[in-house]
Each structure stands twice: as structure tokens, then as C-alpha cells.
Amino acid sequence: MVAEHLAVLPARPVWQPVPDAARAWLGEQDLPETGRALDDLLDDVRARVLPHPMGNGHPRFFGWVNSPPNPAGVLVEPLAAALNPSCAGGDHAGPHLERSVVRWLADLVGFPHPPGGGLLTSGASMATVICLAAARQRAALADGWDAREEGLSARPPMIMYVTEEGHSCLHKAAQLLGIGARNVRTVPVDGSYRMDMAALREMIAEDRAAGLRPFCVAGSAGTVNSGAVDPLGEIADVAAEHGLWFHVDGAYGALGVLADGAAPHYAGMERADSLALDPHKWLGVPVGCGCALLRDPGAARAAFSLVPSYLVDDNADDLGWFAEYGPEQTRPFRALKTWATMSYLGRAGITRLVDHTTGLARTLAAMVEQAPDFELLAPVTTSITAFRHRPRPDGLDALNRAIPGAVQARGNAFITGTRLGGREALRACFLHPDTTERDLAVLLEEIRLAAKGV
């Protein structure tokens, strides 16, 4: 069934709305009183589940940041379920393999890797919670108090800096950790949607003068809107100067450092205190698998370690259990699908995938620039092209806001929208190894056709 599903997928519509009857069956079932035969369940999966995919397996899916599953990852998923370990820690395959995989990820993107310097997570949102919790506790301990013990009340507000293009998971993590939305400063961006460094410096100076406690600056290595990479080396300088924790959100884009000629854009990423990156994005590891990489793993352990008597492991090595470095106790065997995907592709295959998809984004940008009825809205740094349709001089915001839904409904391509620089924008994100230049032409034609109907 898996092979059949993957084989027929490219010939089917990219996406279709779920019909009412199917939605009702999926969403409103009653729990069976008695158990059902496995064959019956598989019949249901074939007839009622597989026909309604999100679309991200298709080579003309360009929405958000959602990749197709790598076949090696798909292959080993049932085996991870059959083993069904908890990778909280202990002496079994899961935690040992996770050590290798995390080291591979760090090595791939050129991030320093001390022993135990990272862990796999559900995604980058959870990785960000771990990294910012480590940052918060480090700042508190440096000031002579303990945020875990005391909570944040009665202390000067801790201030974090992130650009207006920073991902929402940075804000959610700061809110969850009690930093407070009002203490997350929105740093303006330049014309390329990268952090405005003069503004960052001014904001830090103002906050210090007001008696606040700047503690963290978060740069992006690949924003979700346009794929922009912040000036990471300059951010590292400012962080070092002011004793701030430097976090990089490379959830989507960290792997972009592998693209031909891209390394200079990423200079400084290796100086971060923490880096979030998502194997379930560009690498194509089946959802969900994120990763938090830490320059000092002890900082995450200081933020999370809590070992009750029933979890003491006298045989553990100095690094202890993964569960001491994050909020999860029972942890799935994420390492197996990540190991399989990375082994199957190898460094060369991963680099080819990144080169191919960044090349598609550049080609689409060139096509957009040559077409009188399209406009490029941001430089291409990774594998995202941000642009808009401009078939007439006015009403462009309303038109471009309506286009993604209209394109999606036609079923021949899938694109999503955003707001960029105060304008409604279209963005195409390339992650699929089988997408071709011909698919780019289809996308532009689909946008033109869809726009006529809105």
C-alpha cells in the first residue's frame, strides 16, 4: 500500500478539499465496541484515509515548508514502532543511535559538537523551547539566581531580540517560558529582510539604560517568508559584546549552507550558542523530527534535569539521559528514520538535494523577473521564492491574497501566501527532489489562470 500510494501520487491532483461525507467519516466516528479485523482497518485506510493527503508528497507542492517523505525514512518507520522504545535514555539502540545522528546533523551544517551537544525533538518549536530555556537559566545563574527555583517575578524583565521575519515559534517559546510577549523586541529588517544591526545595537543600549536584562538574540538562517539569512557573524559579535545568548533558527534553512556558493551567507552560524534545525523539513525525514544543537549541552541540562528516584540510572554515562535535556520524558525513536534518511542520501545526496532545490528557487525568480505580469519581492538565498502576480496596476493585495486558495482548488499546484514588506505576497518553497523546471512554468500558468477567476 505504501509503494502504491507513493507511485500514483504524482499523477493525482496535488490537493483536493475533503468532501463532506469523507470529512464526517474521518472526524465523527464512534469508538467500535468490539475490535475489528486488521484487513478491515487497512481497507478503511486505503479507501478513506489515503485519498485525502495534505499534498506535500507531490512534486508541485510549494506551500509553507513541508517536504515529501524520504523513502528510507518511510521504510524504517514500522520498525521503530515495532521496537517501540522510549528514548528517554538507557542502554538500547535508540539513545545510542540518536548520539550519532545528532553528531551527523551538527557536522553537516558545520556546528561545533561537544559530546552530548544536542537532542532530537518533535520539531523546531520544541527545539526552540529547549534552547531558550537554556538561555534563560544561563542568564539567571550568571546574575546569581535560579529561574527554575524562583520563577521570573520580582526580577528585571529578560529581553529577547528577534526580527519581524522571525518565526512564530520564537514568540511562542518566549511566552511559554514566562519572558512575556512585551519583552520580545521586534528588530526591523533591511531591504533584503535581514536583521538591521544598527537597530539591534540601539535597542540593546536602550533596554540596558532602562535597567532591563537583555539575555538573548535570535537570528534566522532561512526565514519562512523569503528564506532570508540574517547577518549571523555580526549578530554573534553583538551577542559576544553584550553577553547575550545567540540562538539561530535554522529549522528550515540551516541545510542551505551546503548549497554551492552559499557558505558566506551563513558565516557566524557556527558561533551560535544554540541552533534549531528540522530533519523533517529539507532532509525529508518523515514528520516529526526536529533537533536542538547546543554549544554547551550543560546549559540545557541545567534548565531541565530533574531525576526522581524511580528514574535514577546508575549505569548511565556522564551525559546522563536525553530526558534531562528537555521537557519530554518518554521519547519516540526519531533517530531511526533520521539515520535511515541521512545514510540513504549520504552527504553527497543531501548536497545534491539542496543544490537542486535552491537552483529551482533561483530559476523561478529569473522567470518571474522576465515576466511582465509578475514581480519578485525578495532576493533568493535558500529555496524560497517570494513574489506577486501583477497583471494590473491596482488591487494587487486583494488579488494576491486570493490567489493561493484559488490555485490550490485547481489541484495542479499548491502555493501559499504571506505578507512581506507590507504587501500580500506569494511564496514558493522547493524541497522535493523530483520537482522540475517544467513544474515552475506550470506554477506560473496556474497562478495566471486562477487569478482570472478571483
Ligand X SMILES: Cc1ncc(COP(=O)(O)O)c(C=O)c1O
Strands 374-376 and 290-294 come out as: unpaired
The answer to whether residue 249 forms part of the interface with ligand X (CB under 6 A) is: yes
Among 216, 217, 251, 444, binds ligand X (CB under 6 A): 251
CB of 405 vs ligand X, minimal distance in Å: 20
CB of 218 vs ligand X, minimal distance in Å: 10
Three cell numbers, residue 73:
525514512
Determine contact, residues 256/358, Cβ cutoff 8 Å.
yes
Sign of the CA dihedral with 227 first, then 395, 407, and 362 last: negative
Q: Please, which residue, 89 or 123, has the CB nearer to ligand X?
A: 123
Among 14, 58, 62, 65, binds ligand X (CB under 6 A): 65
How far apart are alpha carbons 279 and 321 in whole angstroms?
Answer: 21
The answer to whether residue 132 forms part of the interface with ligand X (CB under 6 A) is: no
Determine contact, residues 439/60, Cβ cutoff 8 Å.
yes
Total Cβ atoms within 10 A of residue 302: 20
Among 252, 282, 322, 374, binds ligand X (CB under 6 A): 252
User: What secondary structure letter does DSSP report for 45?
Assistant: I
Q: Please, which residue, 252 or 321, has the CB nearer to ligand X?
A: 252
Q: Mask of contacts with ligand X, 253-282, x by CB under 6 A?
A: -------------------------x----
Span of 134-142, 249-257, 294-302, 399-407 interacting with ligand X by CB under 6 A = 249-257
* Residue carrying the nine cell digits 542502554: 91
Q: Closest residue to ligand X, Cβ-based? A: 123
Region of 50 please: left (phi>0), alpha (psi -120 to 50) or beta: alpha
Span of 42-50, 196-204, 245-253, 370-378 interacting with ligand X by CB under 6 A = 245-253
Three cell numbers, residue 115:
559530546
The answer to whether residue 113 forms part of the interface with ligand X (CB under 6 A) is: no
Please report, as residue ranges, which positions from 277 to 336 form the binding site for ligand X (by CB under 6 A). 278, 290
Q: Please, which residue, 214 or 253, has the CB nearer to ligand X?
A: 253
Span of 80-88, 206-214, 217-225, 334-342 interacting with ligand X by CB under 6 A = 217-225
Determine contact, residues 247/219, Cβ cutoff 8 Å.
yes
CB of 448 vs ligand X, minimal distance in Å: 28
How far apart are alpha carbons 225 and 158 in whole angstroms?
Answer: 27
Q: Please, which residue, 367 or 380, has the CB nearer to ligand X?
A: 380
Q: Please, which residue, 169 or 377, has the CB nearer to ligand X?
A: 169
Please report, as residue ranges, which positions from 151 to 190 form the binding site for ligand X (by CB under 6 A). 167, 169
CB of 290 vs ligand X, minimal distance in Å: 5
Number of residues that bind ligand X (CB under 6 A): 14
How far apart are alpha carbons 189 and 234 in whole angstroms?
Answer: 14
Sign of the CA dihedral with 365 first, then 367, 369, and 371 last: negative
**AA identity, residue 49:** V
Total Cβ atoms within 10 A of residue 255: 28
The answer to whether residue 123 forms part of the interface with ligand X (CB under 6 A) is: yes
Total Cβ atoms within 10 A of residue 254: 30
How far apart are alpha carbons 412 and 74 in whole angstroms?
Answer: 25
CB of 129 vs ligand X, minimal distance in Å: 10
How far apart are alpha carbons 69 and 161 in whole angstroms?
Answer: 34
Q: Please, which residue, 167 or 265, has the CB nearer to ligand X?
A: 167
Binding footprint of ligand X on the chain (CB under 6 A): 65, 123-125, 167, 169, 222-224, 249, 251-252, 278, 290
